[in-house]
């Protein structure tokens, strides 16, 4: 089945979705994006993703002329047109097309595109084993709370991870683990979950907000503090979070066993919550 995507009001064969070379998303990374998933055709957290998009738009003074309902409707339609059951939708909104001048163009219209592809969730076996990560310097700008397509530092970090046969990179700034290249990062120390505070240094993950909710329900304290790099070696557990992985244990860092070497009880308890919400039934293990 040929993939159908969405561009500025039209559902088109994917190959026909073409963006002009003067699009400010291409020229300046003057664009925002969102990605979110469905399980068995039911999208999770759509409203929260829309709220983060609106926050980013406000921060960069981008006036998005589509309502949340319109955008969510396009995601549903793409899922249907592409015959998908578990879907990862990707949305990008740029400030539009205009001759290359840094300041905002006066009359450019924002442009929007969206794709829907089969979501690939980690298997239960992979979750139990956990992932290998590298540490990598955080080279990003000062507004990581805005989900812009300005992702070259994240690309370099992920590439460094891939070159070492690892899944992710843990970004280090001033000796502190900030987050991962495409996920939030957590360490469990003395029964508490430590994670970097929600400041402009990190992206406020939607999955992270659900982790806070679930941890509260489970009675597990969360401390919003950066994790000093050396604490990586004493953490009982570590994990990362994002929409497509929920909670994924980190069991090896820079080639050394870490975080207990396998999925630990905190990661498991949180993952069970996500499983139940996503699939509408308890995890059977
Ligand atoms: C840098 C970064 N941090 C955190 C996240 C996790 O965000 P979410 O839970 O909304 O997927 C992402 C996801 O793309 C990300 O790119």
**Closest ligand 1 atom number to CA of residue 206:** 10
Ligand 1 centre to CA of 160 (Å) is: 18
Spatial distance between the Cα atoms of 130 and 122, rounded to a whole number of angstroms:
10
CATH number of the domain that 186 lies in? Answer: 3.20.10.10
Residue 29 lies in a domain: yes
Is residue 56 domain-shared with residue 143, that is, in the same domain? no
Res 256 pLDDT > 90: yes
Ligand 1 centre to CA of 35 (Å) is: 9
Last residue of a domain, one of 63, 90, 118: 118
Spatial distance between the Cα atoms of 151 and 144, rounded to a whole number of angstroms:
10
Residue 74 lies in a domain: yes
Phi then psi for residue 5, to 5 deg, are -125, 175
> Which ranges in 12-121 belong to alpha helices (H)?
24-28, 46-59, 68-81
pLDDT tens digits for range 113-134: 999 999 999 999 999 999 999 9
Ligand 1 centre to CA of 106 (Å) is: 32
Give the residue whose CA is nearest to atom 5 of ligand 1: 183
Spatial distance between the Cα atoms of 214 and 136, rounded to a whole number of angstroms:
29
Is residue 39 domain-shared with residue 56, that is, in the same domain? yes
Residue 209's pLDDT band, with cuts at 50, 70 and 90, is very high
What number is the average pLDDT over the span 83-87? Answer: 98
Spatial distance between the Cα atoms of 181 and 216, rounded to a whole number of angstroms:
26
Is residue 35 domain-shared with residue 153, that is, in the same domain? no
pTM value > 0.95:
yes
For 12, 15, 17, 20, 120, the CA distances from 2, given in Å and listed in that order, are 10, 9, 13, 23, 19
Last residue of a domain, one of 95, 118, 141: 118
pLDDT tens digits for range 2-26: 999 999 999 999 999 999 999 999 9
- Does any ligand 1 atom lie closer than 6 A to the CB of residue 188? no
pLDDT at 285: 86
Pocket residue to mutate for ligand 1, from 136, 243, 277, most atoms within 8 A of Cβ: 243
Residue with tokens 């794709």: 115
Is residue 113 domain-shared with residue 153, that is, in the same domain? no
Cα 172 to the center of its chain, rounded Å: 18
Residue 182 lies in a domain: yes
- Does any ligand 1 atom lie closer than 6 A to the CB of residue 206? yes
Number of domains the chain contains: 2
Spatial distance between the Cα atoms of 96 and 22, rounded to a whole number of angstroms:
8
What number is the average pLDDT over the span 78-92? Answer: 98
Is residue 56 domain-shared with residue 131, that is, in the same domain? no
Is residue 51 domain-shared with residue 18, that is, in the same domain? yes
Q: What range does the domain containing 131 cover?
A: 124-279
Cα 181 to the center of its chain, rounded Å: 9
Residue 285 lies in a domain: no
Cβ atoms of 171 and 157 closer than 8 Å: yes
Res 266 pLDDT > 90: yes
Is residue 158 domain-shared with residue 93, that is, in the same domain? no
Nearest-5° angle of CA 179, CA 183, CA 184?
45
Residue 43 lies in a domain: yes
pLDDT at 1: 82
DSSP category for residue 248: E
pLDDT at 119: 98
- Size of the chain, expressed as the number of residues it contains: 285
Residue 130 lies in a domain: yes
pLDDT tens digits for range 141-192: 999 999 999 999 999 999 999 999 999 999 999 999 999 999 999 999 999 9
**Closest ligand 1 atom number to CA of residue 144:** 1
Is residue 50 domain-shared with residue 164, that is, in the same domain? no
CATH number of the domain that 32 lies in? Answer: 3.30.470.10
Ligand 1 centre to CA of 180 (Å) is: 8
pLDDT at 167: 98
pLDDT at 29: 98
- Does any ligand 1 atom lie closer than 6 A to the CB of residue 187? no
What number is the average pLDDT over the span 243-252? Answer: 98
Among residues of the chain, what percentage have pLDDT more than 90? Answer: 99
pLDDT tens digits for range 38-74: 999 999 999 999 999 999 999 999 999 999 999 999 9
What the block records as the tokens of 123 is 């298997």
Question: Which contacts of 78-83 are long-range, i.e. CB under 8 A and separated by 24 or more positions?
Answer: 78/4, 78/5, 78/6, 78/11, 78/114, 78/115, 78/116, 79/38, 79/41, 79/116, 81/4, 81/11, 81/116, 82/1, 82/3, 82/4, 82/116, 82/117, 83/1
Residue 284 lies in a domain: no
Res 278 pLDDT > 90: yes
Is residue 202 domain-shared with residue 86, that is, in the same domain? no
Residue 266 lies in a domain: yes
Is residue 94 domain-shared with residue 11, that is, in the same domain? yes
Last residue of a domain, one of 60, 95, 118: 118
Is residue 98 domain-shared with residue 144, that is, in the same domain? no
Strand segments (E) across the chain: 4-7, 10-13, 31-39, 42-43, 87-94, 111-118, 131-137, 168-173, 176-180, 184-189, 192-195, 222-224, 227-228, 237-242, 246-253, 256-257
- Does any ligand 1 atom lie closer than 6 A to the CB of residue 273? no
Is residue 94 domain-shared with residue 138, that is, in the same domain? no
């Amino acid at each position: 089945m040929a993939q159908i995507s969405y561009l500025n009001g039209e559902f088109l064969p994917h190959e026909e979705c073409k963006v002009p070379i003067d699009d400010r998303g291409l020229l300046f990374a003057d664009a925002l994006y969102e990605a979110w998933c469905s399980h068995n055709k039911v999208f999770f957290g759509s409203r929260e993703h829309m709220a983060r998009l609106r926050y980013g738009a406000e921060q960069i003074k981008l006036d998005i002329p589509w309502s949340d309902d319109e955008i969510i409707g396009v995601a549903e339609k793409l899922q249907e047109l592409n015959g998908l059951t578990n879907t990862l939708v990707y949305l990008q909104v740029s400030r539009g097309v205009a001759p290359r001048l840094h300041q905002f163009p006066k009359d450019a219209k924002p442009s929007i595109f969206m794709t829907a592809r089969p979501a690939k969730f980690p298997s239960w076996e992979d979750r139990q084993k956990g992932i290998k990560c590298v540490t990598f310097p955080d080279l990003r700008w000062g507004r990581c709370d805005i989900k812009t397509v300005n992702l070259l530092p994240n690309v370099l970090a992920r590439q460094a991870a891939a070159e070492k046969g690892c899944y992710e990179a843990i970004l280090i700034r001033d000796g502190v683990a900030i987050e991962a290249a495409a996920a939030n990062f957590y360490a469990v120390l003395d029964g508490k979950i430590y994670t970097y505070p929600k400041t402009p240094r990190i992206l406020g993950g939607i999955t992270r907000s659900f982790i806070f909710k679930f941890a509260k329900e489970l009675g597990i304290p969360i401390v919003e503090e950066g994790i000093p790099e050396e604490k990586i070696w004493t953490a009982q557990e570590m994990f990362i979070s994002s929409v497509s992985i929920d909670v994924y244990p980190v069991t090896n860092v820079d080639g050394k066993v870490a975080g207990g070497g396998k999925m630990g009880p905190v990661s498991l308890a949180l993952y069970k919550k996500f499983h139940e919400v996503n699939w509408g039934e308890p995890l059977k293990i």
